[in-house]
Structure 1
């Protein structure tokens, strides 16, 4: 399962924003966020370019490490 680290999340609203942003990308599903560590895991079908994932996180107002 792919994993990224997202900085700046502090509450369930943040978790939902990042989850929605990633699930809006075709091929990403079942996003799981660990708020305490910033780790975000998801299922991915096909090859999704890392810049596309990074942009979705940035559009939600957060940064990937």
Structure 2
């Protein structure tokens, strides 16, 4: 069962930020696609199976940014 979730991330301000977040989140098991958007302050994660929010939060933290919740 595939899953697509958009999260709100603070601290991203440029393309480098987007690449850092995308790289870390893409490394999570089962992730098939990641789209980070610094202007919107979001990262959309497509995965083969639902991920735990804590996994995504840890990856965003590793990139140096803060996941503050899910977008509506």
**Greater displacement, 55-64 / 39-48:** 39-48
Count of residues paired in the alignment: 65
Detail structure 1 runs of 4+ shifted over 4 Å in the superposition.
Answer: none
Name structure 1 gaps, 5 residues minimum: none
Bigger proportion of residues as strand: 2
What's the secondary structure of 1:42's corresponding residue? Answer: strand
Length-normalised TM-score, structure 1: 0.90
Partner of 1:24: 27
Name structure 2 gaps, 5 residues minimum: none
- Show CA shifts across 1:10-50 (max 9, x none): 11110000000000001112211222111111211113211
**Greater displacement, 20-29 / 39-48:** 39-48
